Homo-oligomer: A and B are copies of this chain.
């Protein structure tokens, strides 16, 4: 196991390669469906070598999840009370949709975890995530009280945004099977924008 001191170039490179490979594998097969050999092969390392950098399969998984949670929540963090309410919300939605398009592996990694009861990130949900959502729904509620956007259940508003945008990453196969060759995001962008404009216009 490498020391905790300043990591060498090799350590940085290999840790990064492992996390990148693990993202590919875990997001495609879930935790239980992925094997250490698979991740090692994808990272271009032997299995014992991989286990030299991370003590176990589970350690890789949690390192991935906790490392990506920040990235995943960044768009919501950026929601700014001082901006124009409708524009703030719509640009949050657009950022989430772009993340589904550009980071589908990350979306599916979390989807895999959540759909199976989030055994490994349950605590993060009810602490970090809940705090963030509480904070941002408070902003939404204030906007509603001020009549700047229509009055709807703020938590379910957030859920709906997550559901709508992440659907395109998580259930990509289904969407594409139905749309045929058409690019899903071509139509999705205008659709969700129209939807939330109509919903939130006072």
Contact = CB atoms under 8 A, between A and B. Distances in A.
Chain A, interface SS category? helix
A41 interface: no
Interface string A126-155: 100110010000000000000000101101
Number of copies: 2
A160 B191 contact: yes
A194 B152 contact: yes
Nearest to A33: B32
Interface residues of A, number: 52
A51 interface: no
Contacts of A33: 30-33, 116
Interface of A: 28-33, 108, 111-112, 114-118, 122, 125-126, 129-130, 133, 150, 152-153, 155-160, 162-164, 166-168, 170-171, 173-175, 177-179, 187-188, 190-192, 194-195, 198-199
